[in-house]
Amino acid sequence: MTQRVTSLSAMLVALAMLLGRMTGLLRILGLATVLGVTHANDLAILVISVPDILNAMLVGGALGVVLIPEMHRLSEDVSEQSASQLIVQSFFASAVLASALTFLLIMGGTWFTELLASGFTPAQISEASRLISIVLLAFPVSAVTAVTSAVLQGHHKPVIPAYGNLFFNLVLILVIVLWVTPGQIEILAWAVVAASAFRLLTQLFCCYFVTDLRGAFHSFYRLSSLNRNLMVKYFQALAAIGLVVAFPVVSRSFASMYEGGISLFEYSQKLVELPRGLIGAVISMVIFPRLSRVFAAGDLDTGARIVSQTAGLILLISIPAGIAVYVSAEPVVSLLFQRGQFSVSDVSATAKLLQFAVLAMPALFLSILTMNVFYARHETITPFKISCISLVCLILLSLGLRELWGMSGVMLAFVLTSWLHFLGLTISLYIKYEVSVIQGIDLKHYSALVFLTFSGISISTMIVNLVSDHIQLFICSAGLGGLCFGAVLLILKNHLPSLNGKLSL
Q: What is the pLDDT of residues 53-94, one digit of tens each?
A: 887 777 756 677 677 777 777 777 767 777 777 888 888 888
What is the reported pLDDT for 473?
93
Give the pLDDT band (50/70/90) at residue 45.
Answer: very high
pLDDT tens for 102-117 read 999 999 989 999 989 9
Give me the DSSP letters along 432-493: HH---SSTT--HHHHHHHHHHHHHHHHHHHHHHHH---HHHHHHHHHHHHHHHHHHHHHHHH
Give the chain's mean pLDDT: 83
Q: What is the mean pLDDT of residues 18-24?
A: 80
What is the reported pLDDT for 501?
43
Rounded distance, CA 335 to CA 414, Å?
Answer: 26
In one-letter notation, the amino acid at residue 283 is I
Rounded distance, CA 484 to CA 504, Å?
Answer: 24
- Report the chain's C-alpha Rg in angstroms: 22
Assess whether pLDDT exceeds 60 at residue 423: yes
What is the reported pLDDT for 210?
76
What is the reported pLDDT for 60?
58
Choice between 375 and 212, residue whose per-residue pLDDT is larger: 375
Q: Which of 16-20, 200-204, 418-422, 450-454 has the lowest mean pLDDT?
A: 16-20
SS3 content of the chain, % helix, strand, coil (to 5): 85, 0, 15
Rounded distance, CA 344 to CA 329, Å?
Answer: 14
What is the reported pLDDT for 498?
45
CB-count exposure of residue 310 (10 Å: 0-12, 13-18, 19+):
buried
Q: What is the mean pLDDT of residues 181-210?
A: 89
Rounded distance, CA 229 to CA 392, Å?
Answer: 28
Q: Read off φ and ψ for residue 159, nearest 5 degrees.
A: -70, -35
Nearest to 151 by CA among 141, 161, 142, 143: 161
Give the pLDDT band (50/70/90) at residue 316.
Answer: confident
